[in-house]
A and B are shown apart, each in its own frame.
Chain A
Amino acid sequence: MYSTKYVIAAIIIFLAIVTSPVWYDMASGEPIHPKLAKPTGAHCVENTEWMKAHHMLLLKDWRTMHVREGKVLYTSQTYGDVYNASIEECFKCHRSETNFCEKCHDYMGAKIECFECHTYPELVEEYNK
Chain B
Amino acid sequence: MISRRRLLILAGASAAAAFAGVSPIAGSPEGTSKDPNVPRWAMLVDVDKCTECVKELIKKTGDPHVKPPCVVACDEFNNVPEFEDKKKDPQWMRIAKFSLDKESVEPEEFYMPLLCNHCEHPACAQVCPTKATFQRPDGIVMIDTHRCIGCRYCMIACPYGARSFNFEDPRKGLRHINPEVPTRSRGVVEKCTFCVQIVDEAMERGEAPEPACVKACRLYSKNALVFGNVKDPNSEISKLMRTGYVIQLRPGVGTDPYVFYKFIKERP
Residues in A lying within 8 Å of B, measured CB to CB: 63, 67-68, 70, 72, 88, 116-119, 121, 123-124, 127-128
Contacts and interface: CB of A to CB of B under 8 A. Distances in A.
Interface of B: 134, 136-138, 142, 144-146, 171, 174-177, 179-180, 182-185, 200, 204
Contacts of A118: 182
A117 B183 contact: yes
15 contacts: A67-B142, A67-B144, A67-B146, A68-B144, A70-B137, A70-B200, A117-B145, A117-B182, A117-B185, A118-B182, A119-B177, A119-B183, A121-B179, A124-B177, A127-B175
Contact of B177 (A63, A72, A128): A128
B174 A127 contact: yes
Contact of A127 (B138, B144, B177): B177
A33 to B, nearest CB: 30
A72 B201 CA distance: 9
Provide the main secondary structure of the chain A interface.
helix
B179 A70 contact: no
Nearest to B138: A70
Nearest to B131: A68
A118 B179 CA distance: 8
A121 B179 CA distance: 8
B136 A123 contact: no
Contacts of B182: 117-119
A95 B146 CA distance: 24
Given A68-B134, A72-B200, A123-B177, A116 B146 contact: no
Contacts of A121: 179
B144 A72 contact: no
Question: Which of A116, A117, A123 is the most central at the interface, judged by chain B CB atoms within 10 Å of its CB?
Answer: A117
Contact of A128 (B142, B176, B184): B176
Nearest to B200: A72
Given A117-B145, A127-B171, 7 more contacts: A67-B142, A70-B200, A117-B185, A123-B177, A124-B179, A127-B174, A127-B176
Contacts of A63: 146
A70 B183 CA distance: 19
A117 B134 contact: no
Contacts of B174: 127
Contacts of B137: 70
Contacts of A88: 179-180
Contacts of B171: 127
A102 B146 CA distance: 20
Sorted nearest first, the 9 A-B pairs with minimum C-beta distance are A116-B185, A127-B177, A117-B182, A118-B182, A124-B179, A117-B185, A67-B144, A119-B179, A124-B177
A59 B239 CA distance: 42
A128 B178 CA distance: 9
Question: Which of B182, B184, B185 is the most central at the interface, judged by chain A CB atoms within 10 Å of its CB?
Answer: B182
A124 B174 CA distance: 11
Contacts of B145: 117
B184 A117 contact: yes
Question: Which of A63, A70, A123, A128 is the most central at the interface, judged by chain B CB atoms within 10 Å of its CB?
Answer: A70
Nearest to B79: A119
A88 B185 CA distance: 17
A121 B145 CA distance: 21
